[in-house]
Amino acid sequence: MKFEIEKVKKFQMIHIMGNIDTETSTKILDGEVTRLIDGGNHHFVFNLERTTYLDSAGISIFIHCLCDVQNNDGSVFIIAEDNQVRRVLEMVGINRLIQTYGSKHDFLKAIETAE
């Protein structure tokens, strides 16, 4: 798994590439998210358009982030195409906790409308 962080308006957009499936790689990402939160960032978007596999280790990152930012009126969103990764998110019910968009374009359109 690799990831890149992009600032998009008030959001830290985290692009995750490859498989989110090992405790070691998810600890690195979870640590980076914690560092960003500690630095005052409270709005996150996890872009899974280039994610090929997701298991419970990856899902825990989204839940930890959501719990950590809620105390600061933060927000968490997920971008996931209609594929196996999105089906996993829906199967475990993450989409009921975290608003999920089908593409980066859809997310950007939604935040433009909300402003």
pLDDT band at 25 (very low <50, low <70, confident <90, very high): confident
Kindly tell me if the per-residue pLDDT of 23 is higher than 80.
no
Domain count, the chain: 1
Residues whose CB is less than 8 angstroms from the CB of residue 108 and which lie 6 or more positions away in sequence, other chains included: 8
Predicted model pTM: 0.94
Domain residue limits at 88: 2-114
Can you give the CATH number for the domain in which 27 is found? 3.30.750.24
Q: Tens digit of pLDDT for each residue in 40-49?
A: 999 999 999 9
Choose among 100, 109, 111: nearest CA to 51.
Answer: 100
Interval 53-101: pLDDT, tens: 998 888 999 999 999 999 899 999 999 998 999 999 999 999 999 999 9
